[in-house]
Amino acid sequence: MIIALIILYFLFGSLMFSYWIGLLVQKDILTVGDGNPGGANLWKAAGYQFGIIGIILDFLKGYLPLLLIVHFQIVEVSDLDLILLALAPIAGHAFSPFLHFSGGKAIAVTFGVWSALTYFYASIWYAVILAVFTALLKISKKGGKTTSTEDGVQTTIGFLLLSTYFLFLNVPNYLAFIWFGNLLILVWKNKKEFRELLKYEA
């Protein structure tokens, strides 16, 4: 039962809503910006209305499956089961079989998963961290736009700093394992951005 649920959650996460919405409005978002098939690129390619729809759908891919487990308890799960179930939709989006296992960066899905796991507390803290990073970058660039490289690096480092959430609260150990697995996926999906940053710094 649990294995079937993990596969189902992975497949649900792998549904590339933003990419498909882009195709419906004749926009290939893989050719926009950093080529990420997510809501941000849909926003750039087709406008904020479609972008918001894409972001919401990607968020729900992470939120709804975990809501059924954490809050409605449709099935009894162990801590290990919950770790795998939480990471499944994130991995599904990041390595979608619908895009030859080369999916998106899974930021919206990540927000969805952590919203379900922590009643939105961790995702709000993550949003605050990213807002601070964005403000600091804007100041350093004198109001100029951030690059795809900067966005990828800041979302990953911001998620690394989400570990501070665990310092202030007595949270279950399984959340730390979910966080670590989530971090590994984000680092992998943004490895090119980190290489470019290191090359630039050198």
- Asked if residue 200 has pLDDT above 80, the reply is no
> Bigger pLDDT: 34 or 95?
95
pLDDT of residue 124: 96
Structure tokens at 144: 């100029």
Mean pLDDT score, 19-42: 90
Q: Where are the domains of the chain?
A: 2-201
> Bigger pLDDT: 171 or 68?
68
Alpha carbon distances (Å) from 98 to 12, 33, 77, 112 = 11, 20, 28, 21
- Start-end of H helices in the chain: 2-13, 17-24, 39-46, 48-70, 79-94, 107-117, 121-140, 148-161, 164-168, 173-189, 191-201
3-state secondary structure (DSSP) of residue 191: helix
